[in-house]
C-alpha cells in the first residue's frame, strides 16, 4: 500500500528509501514530544497519536514558511535564507503575531552574537557560556 505525502513523493511501508525520506522530512518525534510536555502540567500525558500529528503539523509549517522565504530570496537573486526572510515570510503568510516574536528573538540573538565576538576579540573566549532564552 502506497501513501501520498504533502511533497508529492510516495512512500511505502517498506523499510527502504521511502521511510528514510520520511524521517528526513519530519522533526524528531522526541523533540516534538519534549516541547509539548514543557507546555503541559507535570502530570499530563501525551498520546503517540498526538505527538505524531503535531510532528506532521510543525514539519509542514516549517516547510511552508521556508518555501515562502526561499521564493523571496530567489526573486532577489540570493542563495541564503536568513532570519529576516523567515520573519518576512511569516508576516506575508498571515502569521504576524509570530513574526513579531521572531523579530524580537532575532534581535536579541544578534546582540548576543555580537557580545560573544567582542569577548573573544578581547581575549575572554574561554568557551564557557550560559545558554540564553532569547524569547523573554
Distance CA 60, CA 115 (A): 34
CA distances from 107 to 38, 66, 81, 103 (A): 25, 19, 16, 6
Q: Which residue ranges form the domains of the chain, and what is each CATH number?
A: 26-122 (1.10.20.10)
Question: Rounded to 5 degrees, what are φ and ψ at 2?
Answer: -105, 145
Residue whose C-alpha cell is 502506497: 2
Q: What is the pLDDT of residues 58-88, one digit of tens each?
A: 999 999 999 999 999 999 999 999 999 999 9
Q: State the angle between helix axes of 48-75 and 29-39 in degrees (0 to 180), rounded to the nearest 10.
A: 110
For residue 136, pLDDT over 70 is answered with no
For residue 13, pLDDT over 70 is answered with no
Q: What is the pLDDT of residues 117-127, one digit of tens each?
A: 888 888 755 55
Q: How many CB atoms lie within 10 A of CB 132?
A: 12
Alpha-carbon 90 to chain mean position: 12
- Angle, CA of 106, 134 and 90, to the nearest 5°: 40
Amino acid at each position: 500500500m502506497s501513501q501520498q505525502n504533502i511533497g508529492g513523493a510516495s512512500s511505502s511501508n517498506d523499510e527502504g528509501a521511502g521511510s528514510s525520506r520520511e524521517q528526513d522530512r519530519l522533526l524528531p518525534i522526541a523533540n516534538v514530544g519534549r516541547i509539548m510536555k514543557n507546555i503541559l502540567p507535570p502530570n499530563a500525558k501525551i498520546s503517540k497519536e498526538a505527538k505524531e500529528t503535531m510532528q506532521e503539523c510543525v514539519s509542514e509549517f516549517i516547510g511552508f514558511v521556508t518555501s515562502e522565504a526561499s521564493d523571496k530570496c530567489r526573486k532577489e537573486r540570493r542563495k541564503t535564507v536568513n532570519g529576516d526572510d523567515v520573519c518576512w515570510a511569516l508576516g506575508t503568510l498571515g502569521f504576524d503575531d509570530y513574526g513579531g516574536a521572531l523579530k524580537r528573538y532575532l534581535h536579541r540573538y544578534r546582540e548576543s552574537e555580537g557580545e560573544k565576538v567582542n569577548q573573544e576579540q578581547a581575549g575572554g573566549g574561554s568557551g564557557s557560556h550560559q545558554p540564553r532564552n532569547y524569547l523573554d
